[in-house]
Amino acid sequence: MSVFLSEEQRAIFEMAQGFGAEKIAPFARAWEQAGEIPKSLWPEVAALGLGGIYVSEEHGGSGLSRLDGVLVFEALAMACPSVAAFLSIHNMCGGMIDHFGDAQAKARWLPSVCTMETIFSYCLTEPGSGSDAAALKTRAVRGDDGFALTGSKAFISGGGYSDAYIVMCRMGDAISAVIVEDGTAGLSFGGLEDKMGWRSQPTRAVQMDGCVVPHANLLGEEGRGFAYAMAGLDGGRLNIAACALGGAQAALDATLAYMGERQAFGQTIDRFQALQFRLADMEVKLQTARVFLRHAAALLDAKSAEATKFCAMAKLYVTDVCFDVANGCLQMHGGYGYLADYGIEKIVRDLRVHQILEGTNEIMRVIIARQMLAAR
């Protein structure tokens, strides 16, 4: 399946890259220090059609493909992987509502999702259920006034910052998905997590203590939440890989510039063949990662039976390769790479978590192997 880009797709990439360079990159370090992305950014993002990337045009979205999406997130992550990844979470939620919500849910939520007046977060992981997501314990009990939720979600990007949360919870013996609005009685948040990377994204536990939400806030069918979550993660894994790719590309671009200026032993260090070999290896890694990622996205768009396997493979391969490249770029900066002023250490810190979230890379191997064995 071809992964060559159309003129329209090139325009999408260049639009997102230009926006990131102007509106995100100059402020990324300050936002990291502040521990929060200013909400004034999101209307500008939405004005480009990036608030509802996977939402149909009928409901105010852009109706883009998964391949289009990875282009957007790669381009934005060249400015800041943390900001790009946060936007990808919001878009994953919007896509889930568009794909699985009923007409009432779509009319209720999607217009404000697309304008980013309502920022969404995704709540699956719990303190006792990370890789084993099906073991989650947050429970919803049906009552006359709605569903009463009790439980706690961990490591939630946008916890206490977002306007609404898609929460995976247990109803009876099955898992369902419900939407919980900020300000709902019984909803509270843990303290701000002090993280290695993604520091511009506020991350907190999301806690529910008898938190009652209307019956209409059930997303899709009762008992189908786990299937929705897994389907959402296929696209989420592509987006996280794309964010890793954009960050690593930015690190390599900065390294090329640095090596053309830095002198040692009477010449710029880009003249040393040993370092040229390292640059060549990095370029090969990023280009192969890019082709693999775009191929996996094309398979997901085509609804291929192999899409889940390829999404897992892309997430595993791309995030591992891109962290290695970014870390190698830090090494090639020498001591300067360890300083915040050069921007490389931030990329390394941001990209490390990409090997963990949306399913750890160990779990990606489990998914890949199971699909291989099932196909025998």
At 2 the pLDDT is 46
197 CB-near residues (< 8 Å, 6+ apart): 82, 346, 348, 349, 350, 351, 352, 353
Q: Cα(297)–Cα(299) distance, rounded to whole angstroms?
A: 5
Residue-wise pLDDT for 162-203, tens only, equals: 999 999 999 999 999 999 999 999 999 999 999 999 999 999
Q: What class is the 121-222 domain?
A: mainly beta
pLDDT of 134 reads 83
Q: Give the pLDDT score at 3.
A: 61
Residue 38: count of CB within 10 angstroms of its CB: 11
CATH annotation of 7-118: 1.10.540.10
Residue linked to tokens 């493909």: 65
Distance CA 68, CA 63 (A): 10
Report which of residues 129 and 362 the model is more confident about. 362
Instruction: Give mean pLDDT, residues 14-19.
Output: 98
pLDDT at 1: 40
| CA–CA dist 183, 189 (Å, integer) | 11
For the chain, the average pLDDT equals 96
The arithmetic mean of pLDDT across residues 238-266, rounded, is 98
Whose CA is closest to 350, among 314, 319, 313? 319
Region 109-122 average pLDDT:
98
Tokens 């671009």 belong to residue: 253
Q: Are 133 and 165 in contact (CB under 8 A)?
A: no
pTM for the structure as a whole = 0.96
3 state SS of 86? helix
Domain with CATH 2.40.110.10 in the chain: 121-222
Which pLDDT band holds residue 125 (cuts at 50, 70, 90)? Answer: very high
Chain mean position to CA 172: 30
Tokens standing for 92? 């994953």
Contacts with 22 (C-beta within 8 Å, 6 or more apart), sequence order: none
Q: What is the DSSP string of 187-220?
A: EEE-PPP--SS-TTS-EEEEEEEEEEE-GGGEES
Q: Report the alpha-carbon distance of residue 326 to residue 84 in Å, rounded.
A: 17
Q: For the chain, what percent of residues have pLDDT higher than 90?
A: 95
Beta bridge partners of 206: 153, 189
* Measured distance CA(101)–CA(217) in Å, rounded: 10
Alpha carbon distances (Å) from 337 to 31, 55, 254: 20, 40, 10
Mean pLDDT, residues 202-223: 97
- Residue 352: closest CA among 123, 158, 73, 82: 82
pLDDT at 165: 98
Kindly give the pairing relationship between strand 120-123 and strand 164-171.
parallel
Residues 141, 136: Cα–Cα separation, whole Å: 15
| CATH 3.50.50.60 is held by the domain 226-374 | no
* DSSP line for 10-33: HHHHHHHHHHIIIIIGGGHHHHHH
List all residues 6 or more positions away from 95 whose beta carbon is below 8 Å from its beta carbon. 53, 54, 55, 232, 235
pLDDT tens readout for residues 254-311: 999 999 999 999 999 999 999 999 999 999 999 999 999 999 999 999 999 999 999 9
Mean per-residue pLDDT, 304-333: 98
* pLDDT per residue as tens digits for the range 128-148: 887 888 899 999 999 999 999
Q: How far, in Å, CA of 128 to CA of 273, rounded?
A: 50
Q: How confident is the model at residue 376 (pLDDT cuts 50, 70, 90)?
A: confident
The catalytic residues are 358
Q: In the chain, list all ranges with CATH 1.10.540.10.
A: 7-118
Mean pLDDT of 347-361: 97
